[in-house]
Amino acid sequence: MESKHPHERSQTPDDQHHRAGKSIGYKPSVWYYRRAARASQDPEALRALCLLLCRELELLKSWVRTALGVVPPKWCVLPEEKRDKGWE
């Protein structure tokens, strides 16, 4: 799975619902992502799952900025990002 900016990707059914302003319900939720991560023994499947979670985060942050006009806070930051941004 390729990681691009959310607006550069081909549309999926979820994207079509998102752009139409429709909610597809509360699924998939974090429970499904965690279950998939725990069940997978395949590194490629885990990599794809991680990229999908990155996409979900990008879309959610974009929505928060657009809908609420704020930049979402960060609670979980990788050590490399902390070093690069001088947050250590």
pLDDT tens profile 10-68: 455 555 555 666 666 666 678 899 999 999 999 999 999 999 999 999 999 999 999 99
Token pair of 39, please? 């069940």
The CA distance from 85 to 83, in Å, is 6
The CA distance from 50 to 22, in Å, is 25
The model's pTM? 0.62
Residue closest to 4 by CA, chosen among 45, 41, 49, 59: 59
Q: What is the pLDDT at residue 61? A: 95
* Alpha carbon separation from 69 to 15, 39, 64 (Å, rounded): 21, 38, 7
H or E element at residue 15:
helix 13-19
